[in-house]
Homo-oligomer: A and B are copies of this chain.
Amino acid sequence: MRVGELSRRSGVSVASIKYYLREGLLPPGERSSPNQASYDEGHVHRLRMVRALIDVGGLSVAATRAVLAAVDDPQVPLHEALGRASATTPPPWGASGDADDEARAGAQRALADLVRERGWHVSPKNPAWDTAVEVLATYTRLGDEDLARQLELYAEVMEDVARREVAVVVDRGDRARTVEGAVVGTVLGDTLLAALRRLAQEHCSAQLLEGAGLERAEDRARG
């Protein structure tokens, strides 16, 4: 198909398609004449994936290029492909305080203890490690120790989630579809989990506050 039909099929404007081609997010079409290229179903699918990662997953163009390169390159191990999907929000740590203050050292210990107790085998190079430490250190700096104590529950439920997710994508059988599922599921799954957490919070807080007879004024205000 020509670029016009690719645009119609994918819902992505021709200008955006050209931008994604230049940025290497979309492989070039087959050149049918000096000024014309021909695209196929693979391009339609890839465009949908690009938009999913950017629009729904909130990835930058650069992060999207990195994860798609991992999807395309069979030499990239599955773990690294997943790592690229996770390293999407470059943590601006250091701006928020001393790199090795007490809060961070405590957070490091708490996370290391957790990982050991759960028997997780994870590389210290996984960028998620630093991210988790930074959140825990921030709780401590803010005096929110009660929030930091949710670490174990969080780890427990995320292990349940991860075990199922990994099984689901490995079940796809071939490497390309497994990596694609891992990337899409990891990035969009964050968004879905966060949304369901908000809905559950609304439900649970209404339940708890009403049950305890607290904040009646709020209940009235909600009508």
State the A residues within 8 Å of B (CB). 11, 45, 48-49, 51-52, 55-56, 58, 77-79, 82-83, 86, 89, 91-93, 95-98, 115, 120-123, 126-129, 131-132, 134-136, 138-139, 141-144, 146-147, 149-151, 153-155, 157-172, 175, 181-182, 184-186, 188-209, 212, 214-215, 218, 221-222
A121-B203 in contact given A193-B193, A196-B128, A197-B158 (Cβ < 8 Å): yes
A16 to chain B, nearest CB (A): 9
Contact B136 A192, beta carbon cutoff 8 Å: yes
Please tell me how many copies of the chain the complex holds. 2
A129-B51 in contact given A150-B165, A215-B78 (Cβ < 8 Å): no
Interface-central residue, A123, A139, A153, A199, by most chain B CB under 10 Å: A199
Set of chain B residues within 8 Å of A132, measured between Cβ atoms: 192, 195-196, 199
13 A-B contacts (beta carbon < 8 Å):
A45-B142, A51-B95, A55-B95, A56-B135, A153-B161, A157-B160, A166-B201, A167-B208, A170-B205, A170-B212, A186-B197, A189-B197, A190-B197
